[in-house]
Amino acid sequence: MKREKAVAIAASFLISITFLLNAVAQLSNGRTNAPVLMGNFTHADELLPEGVFAWDGLIKTTNATSNQGFARFTFTFTNISADNVTILGVYPSCGCTTAELPPVPWTLSSGQQGRLKLSVNLQGMVGTVFKSVTFITDKGRKDLLQRINILPPVSPQMTQTDRARNLTVALADRQAVFRGNCASCHAKDVEGKYGQPLFDAVCAICHEAVPRASMVSDLHNLKEPTTNLEFWRNWIASGKVGTLMPAFAKSQGGPLDEAQIASLAAYLNSTIPSHVPPAAAK
């Protein structure tokens, strides 16, 4: 009698766990970074044999600008085998990648097509970036590769009328670039950015524009010494009254906190050499 009772309790426990895992999978709304471990993982460490899935590509490439939030990919696959294939999970190479697919285990019948959507958070990334995901089924695993070419931000195209109007507004109030329509370019996507990504987001739009406006300083050919962090920090934080250079410090109406200003100063000090020797000490 005791043995039967113990078996009943154990069975009830297993049913409860199964129900909980299924509920978690449903509540995930199709998004998963760590799939629920259910299904037959016997072949999880083996390569997926040929003739199981037909893919639209195993390597996907996309271009993204440095002020873009995410890069997105879609892999399409079709079960070309004669049997059902069960997808057990998708494992990104790092936490910046999120996979979207139906709750797992997800079974595709012969001839059925599926899609795997991936989103890569680009915060802090520069240059060419490679990411991967491991796609695991009950027949074996497949590695999928994503390549992201992160390009400099695209400068907005303005008409001469727009440029003249904005110049008039900026001359009257240099902090106007952080308000209204101007803020969409000059104060956009700064949260969580530091160093070069921050420079690309809020500085390069003016200082690295091609062509660069004549009233905007060429940071690579300044006519005064730029050999210390304080030079850059003061210009970034306070700007210069009577010019178009606004004050970026939050304390002065700008969008950047002290840590962001310090990171910009460090980036500029390390990448832009001074062309003018410091003044001799008296």
Give the lowest-confidence range in 140-144, 177-181, 272-276: 177-181
- pLDDT value at position 272? 82
Position with higher pLDDT, 221 vs 180:
221
pLDDT tens by residue, 46-86: 999 999 999 999 999 999 987 788 999 999 999 999 999 99
Report all structural domains of the chain as residue ranges with CATH numbers, in order of start. Answer: 30-151 (2.60.40.10), 160-271 (1.10.760)
Inform me whether the pLDDT recorded for 268 exceeds 90. Answer: no
| Tens-place pLDDT, residues 100-134 | 999 999 999 999 999 999 999 998 888 899 999 99
What mean pLDDT is reported for the chain? 78
The closest of 154, 26, 139, 166 to 81, measured between CA atoms, is 139
Q: Please tell me which residue, 208 or 57, carries the higher pLDDT value.
A: 57
**Per-residue model confidence (pLDDT) at position 20:** 44
Give the pLDDT band of residue 17 (cuts 50, 70, 90). very low
